[in-house]
Chains A and B, each alone.
Chain A
Amino acid sequence: MVSLLDIIGPVMVGPSSSHTAGACRIGLLARGLVGGTPERARIELHGSFARTGEGHGTDKAIAGGLMGFRPDDDRIRDALDIAEREGLAYTFEKTTIADDAHPNTVRITLERGDRTHEMIGESLGAGRIHITEVDGFPVEVHGNHHTIVLVAEDVKGSVARIAQLLADGGINIATLRLTRKERGGDAFMVIEVDDLPGETVRDAIRALAWVRWTHRLDKVSG
Chain B
Amino acid sequence: MYTSLQSAIDDATASGKRLSQVALEAEARDQGRPIEEIRDALRRALKVMRRATDQGLVGDLYSASGLVGGDAAKLAASTAGPLAGSVFTDVLARALAVQEVNAAMGVIVAAPTAGGAGVLPSVLTGIAHAKGIDDERVVDALATAGLIGAVVAERASLSGAEGGCQAETGAAAGMAAGAAVDMLGGTPSAAGHAVALAQQGTLGLVCDPLGGLVELPCVFRNATGAAIALAAIEMALAGITFAIPADEVIDVMGEIGRDMDVRYRETAGGGLAQTPTGRRLARERLVQIKRAGN
Partner-B contacts on A (CB < 8 A): 1-18, 20-21, 48, 51-52, 54-57, 59-60, 72, 74, 76-77, 80, 125-127
Pair B150/A3 contact, Cβ less than 8 Å: yes
Pair B153/A20 contact, Cβ less than 8 Å: no
Pair B290/A54 contact, Cβ less than 8 Å: yes
Which residues on the B side are within 8 Å of A59 (C-beta)?
293
Pair A57/B145 contact, Cβ less than 8 Å: no
Which residues on the B side are within 8 Å of A9 (C-beta)?
41, 45, 109-111
Cβ 8 A contact of A15, one of B105, B149, B161: B105
Cβ 8 A contact of A60, one of B30, B104, B105, B213: B105
Q: Is B189 an interface residue (CB 8 A)?
A: no
Which residues on the B side are within 8 Å of A13 (C-beta)?
105-108
* A4, A5, A74: residue with the most chain B Cβ atoms closer than 10 Å: A4
Pair B48/A11 contact, Cβ less than 8 Å: yes
Cβ 8 A contact of A4, one of B104, B150, B159: B150
Given contacts A2-B153, A7-B145, A126-B159, contact A12 B211 (CB under 8 A): no
* A2, A13, A126: residue with the most chain B Cβ atoms closer than 10 Å: A2
Which residues on the B side are within 8 Å of A14 (C-beta)?
101-108, 114, 117, 214
Pair A8/B149 contact, Cβ less than 8 Å: yes
Partner-A contacts on B (CB < 8 A): 1, 23-24, 26-27, 30-31, 38, 41-42, 44-45, 48, 63-65, 101-115, 117, 142-143, 145-147, 149-150, 153-154, 158-159, 161-162, 175, 211-215, 268, 285-286, 289-290, 293
Shortest CB distance A181–B (Å):
34
Cβ 8 A contact of B110, one of A10, A54, A80: A10
- 10 additional A-B residue pairs with CB within 8 Å, beyond A9-B110, A127-B110: A4-B23, A4-B146, A8-B45, A11-B44, A11-B45, A11-B108, A17-B110, A48-B212, A54-B286, A55-B65
Which residues on the B side are within 8 Å of A72 (C-beta)?
48, 107
Shortest CB distance B271–A (Å):
16
Shortest CB distance B141–A (Å):
10
Pair B290/A4 contact, Cβ less than 8 Å: no
> How distant is the Cα of A15 from the Cα of B115 in the complex, in angstroms?
7
Q: List 14 A-B contacts (CB under 8 A).
A: A4-B23, A4-B26, A7-B175, A8-B45, A10-B110, A11-B45, A11-B108, A11-B109, A12-B109, A13-B105, A14-B104, A15-B214, A52-B212, A57-B105
Pair A17/B145 contact, Cβ less than 8 Å: no
Which residues on the A side are within 8 Å of B162 (C-beta)?
125
Cβ 8 A contact of B105, one of A54, A77, A125: A77
Which residues on the A side are within 8 Å of B48 (C-beta)?
11, 72
Which residues on the A side are within 8 Å of B113 (C-beta)?
17, 126
Pair B38/A4 contact, Cβ less than 8 Å: yes
Pair B105/A4 contact, Cβ less than 8 Å: no
Which residues on the A side are within 8 Å of B268 (C-beta)?
52
Given contacts A15-B105, A16-B114, contact A56 B213 (CB under 8 A): yes
> How distant is the Cα of A5 from the Cα of B38 in the complex, in angstroms?
8
Which residues on the A side are within 8 Å of B115 (C-beta)?
15-17
Cβ 8 A contact of B146, one of A8, A74, A125: A8
Pair A8/B293 contact, Cβ less than 8 Å: no
> How distant is the Cα of A193 from the Cα of B50 in the complex, in angstroms?
36
Which residues on the A side are within 8 Å of B154 (C-beta)?
2
Which residues on the A side are within 8 Å of B41 (C-beta)?
5, 8-9
> How distant is the Cα of A2 from the Cα of B2 in the complex, in angstroms?
9
Shortest CB distance B75–A (Å):
20
Pair A2/B1 contact, Cβ less than 8 Å: yes
Which residues on the A side are within 8 Å of B45 (C-beta)?
8-9, 11
* A20, A52, A77: residue with the most chain B Cβ atoms closer than 10 Å: A52
Given contacts A9-B45, A54-B293, contact A15 B215 (CB under 8 A): yes
> How distant is the Cα of A126 from the Cα of B117 in the complex, in angstroms?
12
Shortest CB distance A144–B (Å):
13
Closest A residue by C-beta to B154 = A2
Closest B residue by C-beta to A7 = B149
Shortest CB distance B78–A (Å):
25
Pair A125/B161 contact, Cβ less than 8 Å: yes
Q: Name the 8 nearest CB pairs between A and B, nearest first.
A: A14-B102, A4-B146, A7-B149, A52-B212, A15-B214, A2-B150, A55-B213, A4-B27
